[in-house]
Amino acid sequence: MSLSGLLKGCGERERAFQEILRSFLPEPKQFYTASGHKAFSKEYQLRAPAAQALERRDVAFVGTAFTNLAEVMVARAVERGKRAVLSFPLAFKGLELATEKLGSAEVVKQQLKDFFTASVLKVERFVKGGESIEKILPACYYLSKLEQLSGLYQDVWPKNIPAYLKAREQRELVADLERLCGVFNHVFIQSGLAGGKSRAVFRPSLGRLSDELGGAGVSFYLDGTLYYMKTSQTYGYRWREIAQAVSGYLLYLLDCGQARPTHALGELRVERLAFYQARFGEIEYLDLSRLDSLAIETAAQNLKAFFTK
């Protein structure tokens, strides 16, 4: 079962998992924002309104596409870690699944593969300093469609896969992504939050157990902080979102305690968790040093016992 499944489920096992996290979750007052506004509050100002009347799949797609675009913008700004963001493993998985489902349609399969390669190359040029964010939107749009396919059960895939992948970008979704990117550029890039000397790791593994549970949803690590991208137009303290990030951190700590850690951060330290509220341009930080160390250790060991039963 995935981490999100454990957090949403109603069975005995899921409730036991949720109870471990509920007993440890930080309170809203323990978070602070980069802007100085009260975390999770009505003080936030809407800066990138969502496109109107979107279907549920479109809302999810915008979240996927924006995360990809945010990562390549950070990769462009930093000096190290650029290559890590350019492999697009989930998009490649979607491509493999799509071409497998197309069977003997070799010409169409090759077209999809060529478009994947061309899209990655265009993103690579952007990361190296060429192109503009507007120019690479179609490339990220296509890669994000493939990534979305990789996470769906194949019985709910579009009936005509090539038509879905090759269709022109929906104007309202592109406009939505442009607004989100404009705010992100101001908050992370122009401000210098992500700069040349920054240390960045994209979609980092937080360890074997976290990977087995489908990951903790972290978008990137930047200078001691694990960032989670949120594109909802609502705001507020949502315990499942907080629990997902906290449980990922606890699983990372358990992995650090292994003789052979498998997480992707190496010697880099995790000092904060952060939620980037993309439509408001707000970052909600949780400083891990402010949490009770004994409570952290107890929660981590409770999780370890839960998964070793």
Tens of each residue's pLDDT in the chain, 309 residues: 788 889 999 999 999 999 999 988 999 999 999 999 999 999 999 999 998 877 778 888 999 999 999 999 999 999 876 666 778 889 999 999 999 988 888 999 999 999 999 999 999 999 988 878 888 999 999 999 999 998 877 777 888 989 999 888 899 999 999 999 999 999 999 999 999 899 999 999 999 999 998 888 899 999 999 999 999 998 899 999 999 999 999 999 999 999 899 999 999 999 999 999 999 999 999 999 999 999 999 999 999 999 987
Q: How far is CA 263 from CA 15, 190, 254, 298, in A?
A: 27, 30, 10, 21
Query: In this structure, what are the phi and psi dihedrals at residue 218, rounded to the nearest 5 degrees?
Result: -70, 140
| C-alpha closest to that of 291 among 260, 270, 277, 266 | 270
Q: If you search the block for the tokens 């499942």, which residue do you land on? A: 240
